Amino acid sequence: MVICRRPPVKRAAAARRVCGRRAGRYNAGEAGATVRRSTYYEKVVSLSTMDLIKPQVVPPLDPSFRPAVLANRAFLAQVDSSGAAAPLKIAVERGEGATSIFETRVFASGHPKASANLRYSERLVKFLLWQRGGWKVTIAGPAEIAEHIKSVYSPNGERKFDYDFMGGVYEKTFTVENCAYEDCPPARETAAPVGRHLKGCRVGFDAGASDWKVSAVIDGEPVFTTETPWDPRNNTDPQYHYDQINSAFELAASKMPRVDAIGVSSAGVYIDNKVRVASLFRGIPKDLFEKNIRPLFLRLREKWGVPLEVANDGDVTALAGSMSLGTNRILGIAMGSSEAVGYVDAHGNITGWLNELAFAPVDYRLDAPADEWSGDIGCGVQYFCQQAVIRLAPAAGITLKEGNMPGDKLLEVQALMKNGDERARRIYETIGVFTAYGVAHYADFYDLENVLILGRVTSGEGGTIILDTANAILAEHFPDLTGVKVNMPDEASKRVGQAVAAASLPQA
């Protein structure tokens, strides 16, 4: 996989194109107009005392964007200058006792601005749950923060989706507890090497929401790759999923003398190769999910009689980036039908974190677009995938064909971009701005050196615009992140590289 690094002059030019346009020149009123707004923030406007900071570079098609990273940093600066800072630890426990700790500070109880603690802490908990994963949250700090989190993340709270999701993933009742700062549970992180096995004849399969990709790989070299449209999320028949995936395996197998191992990259949560939660299968009734979908890949492994490993597509994205760049401390962001994220740490290991940042907040404005599945607002899914392209199209003055699948709507915009349409360019410039501030936000939670972006949204000239815009903003406005670079694989690798990396997952 060859990494494209654009010269700084082009990055600067991209930033000047965005900076030089007045936000009011473009009508962004329709951006996000079709997505519903969370009632949570309508109910707690009194808690919105965090200052929302206008970005230094305003997204051309979304001028109301208020980056989480700027709001958080402004909040902490105010806490530090108040003379009334109180320490806060948030402990998130996931499977088998693994626990992550996030340390920060808030206004001391009773301070005039202490109400801002609630929103700041809630957004942090939301991010940590979807970054690290967990069924138990311990708030080591002010009791009123713990009570607020307990109320919001409850069976009847506004974050009921998160309550149910995390409890289902880890098969425990989601719990929020409070303790004194000094009594916070200790960190217990687990990380393990994964993938990088290249010997033999391997099948790599990447299950996207708009298409599946499959590769036949012999001793680390792809000898065949292809992608095929499908519609898994709207199909209610488990046999459809089994047949589609098995047919992909058979297609790749036909290109090699034998099959030694099969690796699968797929959105969702997979533990011991069992499907715990995955948007690809959300059309399947619960009883059929338990009977047919949860053991789906175990059945396929038995049928093929070879080692088969399933990993979250975000982790495979990060693995692909680490393998291609020859470095670690890398965050992979796949901008496809959704946002898939994975992370490889300084030792080249996968952390065991959830890394489902499609559900993690990056925009703190109160009228941010909502995720149709979770109902929460300002989360990555509306900023870093084809849903962002579709959301921004009306603001750019582009009318997409009604009835088309989301993937086809993305192709419409890409065709306009290929023909030099300035409206399409503004969409990618806007996503480039989102990417810069999103990466800066992620850097507050991950130890980063490189960020790799790939996926359908980054195909063609649009991907170059996203890359150049993001790097220019990071270089100019985030001097503390001078070592962090956004990279992109070459055109061929960015579409099928994930399936190739997936092939390296099993040890044969």
**How many angstroms separate the most distant Cα atoms in the chain?**
72
Instruction: Identify which of 341, 301, 344 has the alpha carbon closest to the alpha carbon of residue 205.
Output: 301
Instruction: Identify which of 231, 230, 138 has the alpha carbon closest to the alpha carbon of residue 186.
Output: 138
Angle at 347 between CA 342 and CA 352, to 5 degrees: 40
Q: Candidates 2.60.120.200, 3.30.479.30, 1.10.940.10, 3.30.420.40; correct CATH number of 201-316? A: 3.30.420.40
Q: Where are the domains of the chain?
A: 3-50+327-492, 68-183, 201-316
Q: Which residues contact 170 (CB under 8 A, 6 or more apart)?
A: 94, 95, 133, 134, 135
Q: What's the whole-number mean pLDDT along residues 28-46?
A: 39
Of 66-75, 142-151, 193-202, 413-422, give the lowest mean pLDDT range.
Answer: 193-202
Domains 3-50+327-492 and 201-316 share a fold: yes
Q: How confident is the model at residue 14 (pLDDT cuts 50, 70, 90)?
A: very low
Of 27-31, 344-348, 469-473, 477-481, give the lowest mean pLDDT range.
Answer: 27-31
3-state secondary structure of 370: strand
User: Phi and psi at residue 73, in whole multiples of 5°?
Assistant: -70, -35
Q: What's the whole-number mean pLDDT along residues 222-244?
A: 93
Q: Which residues contact 467 (CB under 8 A, 6 or more apart)?
A: 4, 6, 432, 453, 458, 486, 487, 488
CB 145 within 8 A of CB 53: no
CATH class of 3-50+327-492: alpha beta
End-to-end CA distance of the chain: 23
Q: Which residues contact 82 (CB under 8 A, 6 or more apart)?
A: 107, 111, 113
Q: What's the whole-number mean pLDDT along residues 345-354?
A: 88
pLDDT score of 327 more than 90: no
Q: How confident is the model at residue 477 (pLDDT cuts 50, 70, 90)?
A: very high
pLDDT score of 8 more than 80: no
CB 331 within 8 A of CB 481: no
3-state secondary structure of 341: strand
Q: How confident is the model at residue 489 (pLDDT cuts 50, 70, 90)?
A: confident
Q: What's the whole-number mean pLDDT along residues 440-445?
A: 98
pLDDT score of 338 more than 80: yes
What is the pLDDT, as a whole number, of residue 28? 32
Q: Higher-confidence residue: 16 or 264? A: 264
3-state secondary structure string, 30-96?
CCCCCCCCCHHHHHCHHHCCCCCCCCCCCCCCCCCCCEHHHHHHHHHHHHHHHCCEEEEEEEEECHH
Q: Which residues pair with 179 in a beta bridge?
A: 140
Angle at 406 between CA 322 and CA 364, to 5 degrees: 70
Whole-angstrom distance, CA of residue 74 vs CA of residue 83: 15
Mean of the per-residue pLDDT values of the chain: 88
> Which amino acid would we find at residue 20?
G
- The 10 Å CB-count burial string (b at 16+, else e) for 26-54 is bebeebbeebeebebbeebeebbbbebbe
Place of tokens 């197998």: 253
Whole-angstrom distance, CA of residue 162 vs CA of residue 167: 8
Q: Which residues contact 413 (CB under 8 A, 6 or more apart)?
A: 389, 393, 398, 400, 424, 427, 462
**Other Cβ atoms closer than 10 A to 480:** 9
* % of the chain residues with pLDDT over 90: 69
Place of tokens 């080249």: 348
CB 321 within 8 A of CB 450: yes
pTM of the entire predicted model: 0.81
Query: Dihedral, CA atoms, 377, 378, 381, 382, nearest 10 degrees?
Result: 100
Cα four-point dihedral sign 129, 135, 139, 145 = positive
Q: What's the whole-number mean pLDDT along residues 52-71?
A: 98
Whole-angstrom distance, CA of residue 95 vs CA of residue 92: 10
